[in-house]
Amino acid sequence: MRIRFYNARIITFAEQQTTGELDRNIIDGELWTEDNKIIYVGKTPAELSGSAQDPARATLPPFNREIDVQGNLILPGFKDAHTHSAMTFLRSYADDLPLLDWLHQQVFPLEAKLQPQDVYWCSRLAVLEYLSSGITTIFDMYFYPENFVQAMIDSNYRAVLVSALNNFYSSVANMEEEYHRYNNANPLISYFLGFHAEYTTSLDLLRQIAALANKLQAPVYMHSSESAQEVKDCLSRYELTPTVLFDRLGIYNYGGGAYHCIHMSDEDLRIFKERKLSIVTNPASNCKLASGIAPVCKILEQGINLAIGTDGPASNNALDMFREMFLVTALAKIREKDAACVPAQQVLQMACVNGAEALNLKAANSLQVGKLADLIILDLQQPNMQPLNNIVKNVVYSGSKSNVLLTMVDGKILYEKGQYAANFDVERIYYEVNKVIKRVKS
Amino acid sequence: MRIRFYNARIITFAEQQTTGELDRNIIDGELWTEDNKIIYVGKTPAELSGSAQDPARATLPPFNREIDVQGNLILPGFKDAHTHSAMTFLRSYADDLPLLDWLHQQVFPLEAKLQPQDVYWCSRLAVLEYLSSGITTIFDMYFYPENFVQAMIDSNYRAVLVSALNNFYSSVANMEEEYHRYNNANPLISYFLGFHAEYTTSLDLLRQIAALANKLQAPVYMHSSESAQEVKDCLSRYELTPTVLFDRLGIYNYGGGAYHCIHMSDEDLRIFKERKLSIVTNPASNCKLASGIAPVCKILEQGINLAIGTDGPASNNALDMFREMFLVTALAKIREKDAACVPAQQVLQMACVNGAEALNLKAANSLQVGKLADLIILDLQQPNMQPLNNIVKNVVYSGSKSNVLLTMVDGKILYEKGQYAANFDVERIYYEVNKVIKRVKS
């Protein structure tokens, strides 16, 4: 299957061989995919500049489809670097509560009623929403991985799972088994070691996790420093912040990182920098749970890899990378009282490139020959993208999911002009998820 | 022209005759419009429950169009209660600067190069964006009112103008003339007294404005208490906050209100309460200029009418009521460290009803017989609106402009399924606005 996108503006984010800098220029040209890879990015070659009947075309292999991008923008797909897809079932159910009450009073009791097959349908609903927002890959923490993985494979969607291990769910032995199974299940799927959070994980269990991370030489991810209370409780338990505790236990010996990271000490940030850990920021969820504003400027100044996640739909409640991109910079400006901090270009890079770094998916971090064909097209011919004065600023400051014209994952067009590919039975997905929320609420 | 919307969910926000409370229920039924008014809201009458061939239908006057809403949601249109439409020409031009630098270094020099006809085209571009976000009325402050009004009339769009009078622009005599002219120009247009802000308006001019407000017994609006520096400067000039200064001068004797109102003293809020003034909050712009977070909870506790505005596209940069609605509650939760504050229902009311109150447009504040036919339809059959657990929360917490199926202003459908009515030449508008930004930048 060979697809040609022509008459396009393209931001490749390609790493420059000489400087190592990312190419942030907007080029005019075209991009070709073959199966799940990019096979060409650049100017329109002479053979294709003429009409469709030009005999020069015969010297090139034929395309299965040629898409006139009409001057719109091709970008590497957005990476949603922290989410709980299956929590779509709790969207608009448990709102307007702080983190710990929200978890204990609303989320945990309803999650206890979830069936494995529910996770399949709720995750499929989430994929519909990711595609409509230009998200091509997710970093997902939830239960029933078998059903989640099946949902991703049936969706032809790229996902990295991370274990939600804690005192009440799963075990280190189980996590080790899943690590091997899901890192070899399907090229669309990979698996990271992880656990829910310090406050749901005993010291003994943390030690076992550290031992496994060291045995497998693998990175580890978890929720960390999300609320002030969480850090306070951890300090009173161990006289250490969560980050320092994890580091001392050896959990971060082979890298990884954490989600949220709002209440971070200087020592915490130093550890992130030295260990080359990633931070995934979740601004909408952090506002909605009143958790706080992450120190994004400080994180960037340290050169720590910063990616963006939506968090789950029970706390956000949208799975919308445009809203998150705006919030990353808007909240940083408010926090630092500095309208100049975290410019648009940096935010777009977080969504497209830094997410791939956090997920160990460098094959999807740019639009270059040989990279994975995970890409999106944004419509610049809508009023919120006009005038075309600064396209990157338009995307970050006034862009919206309504600008997403097309989302391609692993070489397949899954979403195009508001329509989903044939492997999504949208009405069936809605029907099944509405059944789930009715059942668990009753 | 008679239009029937059937098979709909409807939130009317109708005022209950007995209690004065607003009806926030979601009713299943239909809504009819005739010319620019609503003529029916309620259950499907017996005459229409049968097939289109049912002879009972003949007893009702015929419809020019019948729209199957397919279970989607009809709402009163959103009111954007503070904007500068024509500033679309500066979108993504001047970003990442604090308010006063942004104004003096970037905005004012380029505005000086604007021609009257530029305001026409830039305002028409803004209307395209308002319609795509379900905004049916705007409260607009800018220059060249003649051209702005023409843009609104050609768009069939409802707008309230407010004077941008200041030391460098217009005069009180001119404002008085405009007040009479534009309050009698066209039923779509009305006009409020106003001025830019304390820091651009001399004491002598403020006194003249107060005299005119008292002569015309008219409300007055202006930017106020937007940045900490502005309040500090006003205090050092007059030993009074802007609100107290305006009140002492008699500017608020006949009501009105202010935009932004971030840095408000208790006395300021008391004046707003006692004078029954409105506050228009502009959360995205306030973040982007690092101005601060408005004390939304305190304002609501006082019972002050709180409406929502996008502010202009030079500072926001989107004209998107969904983004603003989420930010109003998200930022309040962060500011108060209280995830329970400013629930979704209250936010939706700000956008649909409180805006009409601020604009003195009670004829457009609800969906009831005799009210203006300004309404929107939101698509609930998109993944961000599923499951249908709590529709109002879905709209505020996960809704997006991509859910706007239809926008009707004054009985005319101006936007439907991504397409604009015939009175919008979209390509021409883009062409003209791109020409403007190229010229003023050169």
What pLDDT, on the 0 to 100 scale, is given for residue A100? 78
Omega before B283 within 30 of 0, i.e. cis: no
Whether B415 and B381 map to the same domain: the answer is yes
Residues in chain B with CB shorter than 8 Å from the CB of A83 are none
Whether B415 and B266 map to the same domain: the answer is no
Whether B372 and B321 map to the same domain: the answer is no
Q: Residue A78's beta-bridge partner residues?
A: A135
Whether B351 and B380 map to the same domain: the answer is no
Return the number of CB contacts < 8 Å for A and B: 215
* Domains held by chain A: number: 2
Q: What is the pLDDT of residues B233-279, one digit of tens each?
A: 999 999 999 999 999 999 999 999 999 999 999 999 999 999 999 99
- pLDDT exceeds cutoff 90 at A174: yes
The residue whose two tokens read 């308002």 is B130
Whether A358 and A371 map to the same domain: the answer is no
DSSP state of B323: H
Question: Is B7 near chain A, with CB under 8 Å?
Answer: no
- Kindly report the number of other CB atoms within 10 A of residue A239's CB atom: 9
Q: How far is residue A246's CA from residue A209's CA, in Å, rounded to a whole number?
A: 10
Give the domain-ending residue among A314, A331, A363.
A363
Whether A72 and A85 map to the same domain: the answer is no
Q: How far is residue A7's CA from residue A26's CA, in Å, rounded to a whole number?
A: 13
CA-angle at B297, arms to B294 and B299, nearest 5°: 75
A356: tokens are: 């791939």
Taking the CA of residue B333 and the nearest CA in chain A, the distance in Å comes to 5
Is B381:B333 a contact under the CB 8 Å cutoff?
A: no
Please state the rounded mean pLDDT for residues A43-55: 84
Question: Is A288 near chain B, with CB under 8 Å?
Answer: yes
Is B302:B268 a contact under the CB 8 Å cutoff?
A: no
Q: Answer whether B386 sits within 8 Å of A91, measured CB to CB.
A: yes
Give A 191-220 residues with CB within 8 A of chain B: none
Q: How many helices (H) and strands (E) does chain B have?
A: 17, 17
CA B424 to chain centroid:
21
Taking the CA of residue A98 and the nearest CA in chain B, the distance in Å comes to 5
Nearest chain B residue to A338 by CA distance is: B290
Q: How many helices (H) and strands (E) does chain A have?
A: 17, 17
Q: What is the pLDDT of residues B99-125, one digit of tens each?
A: 778 888 888 899 999 999 999 999 999
- pLDDT exceeds cutoff 90 at A306: yes
Closest residue to B330, CB basis, from A93, A288, A401: A288
A10: tokens are: 């393209």
Q: Answer whether A97 sits within 8 Å of B387, measured CB to CB.
A: no
Length of chain A: 442
- pLDDT exceeds cutoff 90 at A106: no
What pLDDT, on the 0 to 100 scale, is given for residue B96? 75
Is A218:A193 a contact under the CB 8 Å cutoff?
A: yes
- B165 contact partners, CB below 8 Å, separation of at least 6: B171, B172, B174, B175, B194, B195, B196, B201, B205, B209
Q: Is residue B436 part of a domain?
A: no
Whether A327 and A342 map to the same domain: the answer is yes
Q: What are the start-end ranges of the H helices in A82-201?
A: 99-101, 108-111, 116-132, 145-155, 172-182
Length of chain B: 442
Q: What is the pLDDT of residues A376-410, one digit of tens each?
A: 999 999 999 999 989 999 999 999 999 999 999 99
- pLDDT exceeds cutoff 90 at B221: yes
User: CB burial class (10 A; 0-12, 13-18, 19+) of residue B177?
Assistant: exposed
Lowest mean pLDDT of A109-113, A318-322, A367-371, B207-211, name the range. A109-113
Q: Is residue A433 part of a domain?
A: no
Residues in chain B with CB shorter than 8 Å from the CB of A290 are 333-334, 336-339
What pLDDT, on the 0 to 100 scale, is given for residue B442? 84
Question: Is B345 near chain A, with CB under 8 Å?
Answer: no
Confidence category of residue B20, pLDDT binned at 50, 70, 90:
confident
Q: What does the longest C-alpha to C-alpha distance in chain B come to?
A: 76
What pLDDT, on the 0 to 100 scale, is given for residue B104? 87
Closest residue to B334, CB basis, from A290, A317, A344: A290
Nearest to B2 by CA among B423, B422, B432, B408: B408
Whether B133 and B94 map to the same domain: the answer is yes
Is B86:B123 a contact under the CB 8 Å cutoff?
A: yes
Question: Is B398 near chain A, with CB under 8 Å?
Answer: yes
Is A156:A124 a contact under the CB 8 Å cutoff?
A: no
What pLDDT, on the 0 to 100 scale, is given for residue B100? 78
Q: How far is residue A362's CA from residue A371's CA, in Å, rounded to a whole number?
A: 8
Task: Give the CA-trace dihedral at A252, A258, A264, A270, to 10 degrees.
Answer: 40
Q: Is residue B438 part of a domain?
A: no
Closest residue to A400, CB basis, from B99, B331, B400: B400
Is B336:B2 a contact under the CB 8 Å cutoff?
A: no
**Phi and psi at residue B60, to the nearest 5°:** -100, 150
What pLDDT, on the 0 to 100 scale, is given for residue A253? 98
Confidence category of residue B54, pLDDT binned at 50, 70, 90:
confident
Q: How far is residue A420's CA from residue B438's CA, in Å, rounded to a whole number?
A: 38
Question: Is A48 near chain B, with CB under 8 Å?
Answer: no
Q: Residue A6's beta-bridge partner residues?
A: A68
Whether B185 and B134 map to the same domain: the answer is yes
Q: Is residue B406 part of a domain?
A: yes
Q: Answer whether B384 sits within 8 Å of A288, measured CB to CB.
A: no
DSSP state of A362: G
Q: How far is residue A298's CA from residue A413's CA, in Å, rounded to a whole number?
A: 38
Q: Answer whether A390 sits within 8 Å of B317, measured CB to CB.
A: no
What pLDDT, on the 0 to 100 scale, is given for residue B307? 98
Nearest chain B residue to A310 by CA distance is: B398
HSE-up of B384 (CA within 13 Å, CB side)? Answer: 31
**Phi and psi at residue A83, to the nearest 5°:** -155, 165
User: CB burial class (10 A; 0-12, 13-18, 19+) of residue A34?
Assistant: middle
Q: Is residue B425 part of a domain?
A: no
Confidence category of residue A105, pLDDT binned at 50, 70, 90:
confident
3-state secondary structure (DSSP) of residue A339: coil
- pLDDT exceeds cutoff 80 at B95: no
> For chain B, what is the mean pLDDT?
96
Dump strand ranges (E) for B35-174: 37-42, 65-68, 73-76, 78-83, 135-141, 158-162
- Kindly report the number of other CB atoms within 10 A of residue B206's CB atom: 20
CATH no. for residue B10? 2.30.40.10
Question: Is A368 near chain B, with CB under 8 Å?
Answer: no
Q: Answer whether B318 sits within 8 Å of A91, measured CB to CB.
A: no
Whether B8 and B112 map to the same domain: the answer is no
- Kindly report the number of other CB atoms within 10 A of residue B168's CB atom: 10
Q: From the CA atom positions of chain A, what is the Rg in Å?
A: 22
B63: tokens are: 């419809």
Q: What is the pLDDT of residues A186-226, one digit of tens each?
A: 999 999 999 999 999 999 999 999 999 999 999 999 999 99
Give the domain-ending residue among A363, A379, A407.
A363
What pLDDT, on the 0 to 100 scale, is given for residue A441? 87
Residues in chain B with CB shorter than 8 Å from the CB of A343 are 95-96
- pLDDT exceeds cutoff 80 at B361: yes
Strand B158-162 and strand B189-197: pairing?
A: parallel
Confidence category of residue B179, pLDDT binned at 50, 70, 90:
very high
What pLDDT, on the 0 to 100 scale, is given for residue B52? 74
Confidence category of residue A131, pLDDT binned at 50, 70, 90:
very high
Q: Is residue B428 part of a domain?
A: no
Q: How far is residue A403's CA from residue A126's CA, in Å, rounded to a whole number?
A: 19
- pLDDT exceeds cutoff 90 at A157: yes
Question: Is A330 near chain B, with CB under 8 Å?
Answer: yes
Q: Is the dihedral of CA A261, A264, A270, A271 positive or negative?
A: negative
Q: The complex's ipTM? A: 0.97
H or E element: which one contains A327? helix A321-336
Q: How far is residue A272's CA from residue A224's CA, in Å, rounded to a whole number?
A: 12
Closest residue to A400, CB basis, from B95, B320, B382: B320
- pLDDT exceeds cutoff 90 at A354: yes
Whether A112 and A44 map to the same domain: the answer is no
B340: tokens are: 């329970």
Q: What is the pLDDT of residues A401-422, one digit of tens each?
A: 999 999 999 999 999 999 999 9
Please state the rounded mean pLDDT for residues A161-190: 97
Strand order in the sheet with A256-260: A78-83, A135-141, A158-162, A189-195, A220-224, A256-260, A278-281, A305-308
- pLDDT exceeds cutoff 90 at A52: no
Q: How far is residue A31's CA from residue A377's CA, in Å, rounded to a whole number?
A: 11
Q: Is residue B442 part of a domain?
A: no
- pLDDT exceeds cutoff 90 at B153: yes
Q: How far is residue B426's CA from residue B325's CA, in Å, rounded to a whole number?
A: 27
Q: How far is residue A321's CA from residue A350's CA, in Å, rounded to a whole number?
A: 11
CATH no. for residue B195? 3.20.20.140
Q: How far is residue A436's CA from residue A123's CA, in Å, rounded to a whole number?
A: 12
Confidence category of residue A80, pLDDT binned at 50, 70, 90:
very high
Q: From the CA atom positions of chain B, what is the Rg in Å?
A: 22
CA-angle at A343, arms to A338 and A347, nearest 5°: 125
Residue type, B257: G
- A391 contact partners, CB below 8 Å, separation of at least 6: A9, A26, A73, A380, A385, B92
Q: Which residues constitute the domain of residue A211?
A: 78-363
What pLDDT, on the 0 to 100 scale, is given for residue A360? 97
Whether B11 and B102 map to the same domain: the answer is no
Q: Is residue A16 part of a domain?
A: yes
Q: Answer whether A289 sits within 8 Å of B317, measured CB to CB.
A: no
Q: How far is residue A324's CA from residue A259's CA, in Å, rounded to a whole number?
A: 14
Q: How far is residue A66's CA from residue A99's CA, in Å, rounded to a whole number?
A: 48
Q: How far is residue B309's CA from residue B350's CA, in Å, rounded to a whole number?
A: 10
3-state secondary structure (DSSP) of residue A308: strand
Confidence category of residue B55, pLDDT binned at 50, 70, 90:
confident
Confidence category of residue B56, pLDDT binned at 50, 70, 90:
confident
- pLDDT exceeds cutoff 90 at B18: no
